[in-house]
Amino acid sequence: MQLLDMPELTDTLRRSLARSIAHLARKTGCYPDCLLLDSVEKCGASAIAGGGFADIWQGNMGSVPVALKALRIFKKKPQERALKNFSHEAVVWRQLKHRNILPFLGVFKGSEHFERLCLVSPWMEAGNITEFLDSRPDSDRITLLSDIAEGLNYLHHFTPSVVHGDLKGANIFITPALTACLGDFGLSRFRDFIESTLGSTTGNGTGTVRWQAPELLHNDNDGALVYASQESDMYSFGCVCIEVMTDEPPFAELKRDGAVVLAVSKGQKPQRPTGDCVSRGLNDSLWELMMRCWDDEPNRRPTTEYAVGYFNGCKRNESRRDKISYEYSHVPASLCQYGFPDEHIPNLSCATTSIDDGSIIVP
């Protein structure tokens, strides 16, 4: 694995080597020792957040603040089995390097007083995108959606391809440079492992219900589980667009997740929001993109390349409008624009309005 970190390696050679190591990890169930981090310390007496299958702790790796996603596996044997089962994914995650992807630093196996298996990533002080927009509502939301599309496009086109599987605001983080980056990719499979360890049979490698594609809510016709895919990621991306534009989860009008499942099963789509969303950039073209993301037929949903192209077009149009605005900002107003001679300007400056009939009186 140290070879993969050598700067002189070309991207092609690095990816080829990563594929070979990942394949070996899948075949043997072994994981490279360099994935294990031993210079990590947990901070605080309690987790700062918790979810269905993991708790989030703040920690330090040397002098660098990190986030510890502590999986809810409390026995050593299941912890070791989890590491072996996901050694392939861990090798792949370690190679993901993109401005819109939260780096995966490695695995911390815990300490004497904290016996938890933790996935380690950099600490994002600005929090996730929902927390960030709550504190900075005037942020450029179109640019943030563009960042998300770029990150998802990178995952889908990585070799081997990476399906996020749980795309939602809580898993999208804001960097110090105020760009959005995707985290927790592929971790829905960890959740399934934990659920099966605890005796649950509900797992299917999918994300949270409100962001979940309809094909993932039920088994297929043969009763087999349907797993997350690039197409289901795009459905979730449409839901993230709603979340970013409205500061509300998809189907916010439905209070119970069961009602969401029923609505989606009947072919219902999220309602088009109004109000502040329009000024934030939710126009007809963006809504059309979102509706395409929610197509019931997965193969009719847009690709990540299409989404990236759409947002690049938005930014080009915005840049063009800014340029036009600047070019005309220093041009003095002239009556000639409206067909009148400019010599009327001094007279207009002395004009008054009659109180009786509103007519203009020039002295």
Confidence (pLDDT) at 146: 98
Of 61, 58, 54, 63, the residue nearest 45 (C-alpha): 58
3-state helix, strand and coil shares in percent for the chain, rounded to the nearest 5: 45, 10, 40
Distance in angstroms (rounded) separating the CA atoms of residues 23 and 87: 10
Distance in angstroms (rounded) separating the CA atoms of residues 59 and 75: 22
Say which CATH class 1-123 falls into. alpha beta
Give Cα 96 distance to the centre of its chain.
15
Q: Report helix, strand or coil for 106.
A: strand
Say which CATH class 128-315 falls into. mainly alpha
Distance in angstroms (rounded) separating the CA atoms of residues 146 and 55: 29
Of 249, 165, 247, 253, the residue nearest 204 (C-alpha): 165
Residues of the chain with CATH 3.30.200.20: 1-123
Confidence (pLDDT) at 203: 43
Q: Report helix, strand or coil for 131.
A: helix
Confidence (pLDDT) at 20: 76
Q: Report helix, strand or coil for 111.
A: strand
Distance in angstroms (rounded) separating the CA atoms of residues 244 and 145: 8
Confidence (pLDDT) at 127: 94
User: 7 vs 10, 14, 238, 290, CA distance in Å?
Assistant: 8, 10, 37, 40
Residues of the chain with CATH 1.10.510.10: 128-315
Give Cα 144 distance to the centre of its chain.
9
Q: Report helix, strand or coil for 229.
A: coil
Give the CA dihedral 35, 41, 46, 51, nearest 10 degrees: -10
Confidence (pLDDT) at 201: 36
Distance in angstroms (rounded) separating the CA atoms of residues 102 and 96: 9
Q: Report helix, strand or coil for 361.
A: strand
Q: What is the pTM of this model?
A: 0.80
Distance in angstroms (rounded) separating the CA atoms of residues 54 and 107: 14
Peptide bond into 160 cis (omega under 30): yes
Of 173, 184, 96, 145, the residue nearest 308 (C-alpha): 145
Maximum alpha-carbon separation in the chain = 97
For each of the chain's 363 residues, which pLDDT tens digit applies?
A: 556 666 666 777 767 777 777 777 767 767 677 788 988 999 988 899 876 678 899 999 999 999 998 887 766 776 677 666 677 777 788 889 999 999 999 989 888 788 888 889 999 999 999 999 999 999 999 999 999 999 999 999 998 889 999 999 999 999 999 999 999 886 666 555 555 554 443 344 445 899 999 999 876 666 667 889 999 999 999 999 999 999 999 999 999 999 999 999 999 999 999 888 999 999 999 999 999 999 999 999 999 999 999 999 988 777 666 555 555 555 555 555 445 565 655 565 555 554 455 544 344
**Eight-class DSSP state of 266:** T
